[in-house]
Structure 1
Amino acid sequence: MERRRQHWWNGKWGRLARRDVFLNEDDTTGHFWVEAREGGAEGPSVRQEYDCEPDASRYVARITANTAIDQWRKMPAN
């Protein structure tokens, strides 16, 4: 079973601007998944699998770096 560990949002509303990044853990395999999604819940997403949380966290840090366009914020994982 996959469990959401963390969630980041770029702070923008709307189908064209919103981006979300999720860090999930698979309880069965112990692997971690990073999902990068565009445009909200129905938007396209890309998933990357990692063997350990530090590797997954480094990838998340790289893709959620604040820029002049996006100001990322950590959201409740729920």
Structure 2
Amino acid sequence: MEQRKHWWNGRWGRVARKDVYLRTSGDQWYVEQRAGGADGVSHFFEFDSEDAALDMVRDVLTGEDDWCELSVRPRPR
């Protein structure tokens, strides 16, 4: 599975932090919505197209949080 994008709500701490990830594997697209940082609770959603997955991401990112996109760093070889 390849991570394409990552958004963070800009808040620190287990209670306040939220992350949204866009990933792909083959023809399938996945959105992970996580609350509470690395040890938090995640909800996963599967889509047949990138457009459908991005529609969900846009819906999730609306609201009062100040979301920012974090760049994906290439893994060392």
Give the TM-score of the pair, scaled to structure 2: 0.90
Give the TM-score of the pair, scaled to structure 1: 0.89
Structure 2 segments unaligned to the other structure (5+ residues)? none
Q: Considering fraction of residues, name the structure with more helix.
A: 2
Structure 1 segments unaligned to the other structure (5+ residues)? none
Distance of 2:72 and 2:20 partners within structure 1: 11
Q: Name the residue aligned to 1:74.
A: 69
Alignment RMSD (CA, Å): 0.9
What stretches of structure 1 move > 2 A for 4+ residues in a row? none
Q: What's the CA shift string for 1:5-57, capped at 9, x where partnerless? A: 0000000000000000000001xx31000000011111010000000000000
Distance of 1:14 and 1:57 partners within structure 2: 26
